[in-house]
Structure 1
Amino acid sequence: MSIASHVAELRRKHEALSDMVEKEQRSPGTDDLKIAELKRQKMKIKEEINRLGPH
């Protein structure tokens, strides 16, 4: 897998996590720990994207 395709996959995962966070935040009875974990995952992916650089 090339770096560019890896970054593209990471961006897709980041977007999917963003959607999940938004969905959870709108749901009644939202689990704050679940949202926090999703946000941590998003941050790790964003850091990896930044580390690999724009491709």
Structure 2
Amino acid sequence: MSLSSHVQELKKKHQNLSEHVELMQRSPAADDIEIAKLKKQKLMLKEEITRLSTH
């Protein structure tokens, strides 16, 4: 897998997590701990994307 395609895959995962977090936040029975975990995953993906994009 090329670096470019890897970064694109990470961006897709980040977008999917963003959408999932948004849906969970709208739910009245939202699990705050699960939302926090997803946000942490999003941040880790974002940092990885940034790290790979600057090389």
TM-score normalised by length of structure 2: 0.95
Q: CA RMSD in A?
A: 0.8
Which ranges of structure 2 fall in alignment gaps of 5 or more residues?
A: none
1:12 aligned partner, one-letter code: K
| Ranges in structure 1 where 5+ consecutive residues have no aligned partner | none
**Identity between Structure 1 and Structure 2 (%):** 57
C-alpha distance in 1, partners of 2:17/2:31? 15
Pairs within 5 Å for 1:1-55: 1-53=1-53
CA distance in 2, matches of 1:29, 1:45: 26
The one-letter code of the counterpart of 1:47 is: E
